[in-house]
C-alpha cells in the first residue's frame, strides 16, 4: 500500500486490509486529502485479488465527526458547480466503499457524526462499543444529509432512517442496533476484536468469487442502488448550501455560537 498522511493502511499475509482514520486532533473528520487517500486505497482492491476483506477503524475517541471545519469553510466560498463537484467526491468515495468486492467492516470505538454515519452505512458490518453515540448533525447547521442518505436508507430502510434524518439527538449504540445501523455491540474493545476475528474466520473460509457475487446480488435486490442517486444528492446538497438558513447555520458553527433556531 502507498504512504498516506490522513490514514494508515496495513495488509496482513491473509489479505486482511486494516484502514485507520488518523486525524484524531480533528476528530477524524473528512477533508479533501482524506477523501483522495480513501479513494486510492479503494481503487487498489480492483488490482489486488489477494485482498480478502477491509476493516475501517478510527484513532482516538471519535470514529469520524463528518466534515472538517476548514473543508466546510472552503465549501462555503465555492459556487454551486464547485459544491456539486465536492459533494460528488465524497459520495463517490462512499459508493466505491459500498460497491467494494470484498466484505467490509467498521470497527467503531468512538462516537460517529454526520458523514461518519454515511461511512459506516456504506460498510457491510458495523461492530460497535456499547458506549458509542451516533448522530446526523447536518440539519442543526441548516444543511441536509444528502450525499450519505442513499447509503443510510439502504442500510436501515425508509422508516428507521427518518428518525436519524429529522433528529440530531445522539442515539446510543443499542438504539443504532435496533434501527439496523449497527450489526453487533460489545462492552469493551477486547471482546469486540475477539468476536470480529471469529467473524473474519467464517468470511475468509468462504470462496472469494462467491462472496463477491453474493454481495452484488444483495445490492441488486430491494432498494434503489446508491449509484443511481449520486447526481441528485450532490445537487441537493449544493442547492442547500445557497439557502439563508445554511449560511446562518454555518456562520454560527464557525463562530462557535448557537444558530438562530437553537437560541
In a domain, 156, yes or no: yes
For residue 254, being part of any structural domain is answered with no
- Domain for residue 196, yes or no? no
**Domains of the chain: total:** 1
* Domain-embedded: residue 240: no
Here the CATH number for the domain that contains residue 182 is 3.90.226.10
Predicted confidence (pLDDT) per residue in 243-252, tens digit: 888 888 888 8
Write out pLDDT tens, residues 83-122. 888 888 999 999 999 999 999 999 999 999 999 999 999 9
Does a structural domain hold residue 74? yes
For CA atoms 40, 91, 115, 214, the dihedral sign is negative
Task: Name the band, by pLDDT with cuts 50, 70 and 90, for residue 262.
Answer: confident
Written as nine digits, the cell of 191 is 471482546
Q: Within a domain: residue 85?
A: yes
Average pLDDT value for residue range 52-66: 96
To the nearest whole number, what is the mean pLDDT of the chain? 91
- Distance CA(153)–CA(172), nearest Å, equals 19
Q: 16 in helix, strand or coil?
A: strand
Residue predicted with more confidence, 218 or 222: 218
Instruction: Write out the DSSP string of 24-77.
Output: GGGTT-B-HHHHHHHHHHHHHGGG-TT--EEEEEESSSEEE-SB-HHHHHHHHT
Q: Is residue 88, in this structure, part of any structural domain at all? A: yes
| Lookup: cell for 224 | 434503489
144 is in which domain, residue-wise? 7-187
Q: What are phi and psi of 127, to 5 degrees?
A: -105, 125
Tell me whether residue 170 is in a domain: yes
| CB-CB contact of 56 with 197 (8 Å) | no
Residues 6+ apart with CB under 8 A from 117: 66, 134, 135, 136, 145, 148, 152, 164, 181
Amino acid at each position: 500500500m502507498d504512504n498516506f498522511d490522513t490514514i494508515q493502511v496495513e495488509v496482513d499475509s491473509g489479505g486482511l486490509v486494516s484502514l485507520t482514520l488518523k486525524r484524531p486532533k480533528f476528530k477524524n473528520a473528512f477533508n479533501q486529502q482524506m477523501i483522495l487517500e480513501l479513494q486510492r486505497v479503494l481503487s487498489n482492491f480492483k488490482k489486488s485479488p489477494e485482498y480478502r476483506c477491509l476493516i475501517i477503524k478510527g484513532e482516538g475517541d471519535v470514529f469520524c465527526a463528518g466534515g472538517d471545519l476548514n473543508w466546510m469553510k472552503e465549501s462555503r466560498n465555492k459556487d454551486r458547480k464547485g459544491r456539486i463537484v465536492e459533494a460528488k467526491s465524497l459520495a463517490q468515495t462512499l459508493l466505491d466503499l459500498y460497491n467494494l468486492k470484498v466484505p467490509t467492516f467498521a470497527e467503531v470505538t468512538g462516537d460517529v457524526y454526520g458523514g461518519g454515519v454515511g461511512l459506516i452505512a456504506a460498510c457491510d458490518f458495523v461492530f460497535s462499543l456499547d458506549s458509542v453515540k451516533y448522530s446526523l448533525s447536518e440539519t442543526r447547521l441548516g444543511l441536509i444529509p444528502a450525499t450519505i442518505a442513499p447509503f443510510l436508507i439502504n442500510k436501515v430502510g425508509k422508516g428507521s432512517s427518518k428518525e436519524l434524518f429529522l433528529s440530531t439527538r445522539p442515539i446510543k449504540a443499542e438504539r443504532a442496533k435496533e434501527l439496523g445501523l449497527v450489526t453487533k455491540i460489545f462492552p469493551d474493545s477486547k471482546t469486540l476484536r475477539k468476536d470480529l476475528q471469529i467473524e473474519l474466520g467464517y468470511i475468509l473460509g468462504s470462496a472469494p468469487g462467491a462472496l463477491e457475487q453474493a454481495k452484488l446480488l444483495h445490492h441488486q435486490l430491494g432498494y434503489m442502488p446508491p449509484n443511481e442517486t449520486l447526481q441528485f444528492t450532490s445537487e441537493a446538497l449544493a442547492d442547500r448550501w445557497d439557502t439563508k438558513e445554511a449560511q446562518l447555520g454555518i456562520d454560527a458553527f464557525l463562530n462557535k455560537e448557537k444558530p438562530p433556531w437553537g437560541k
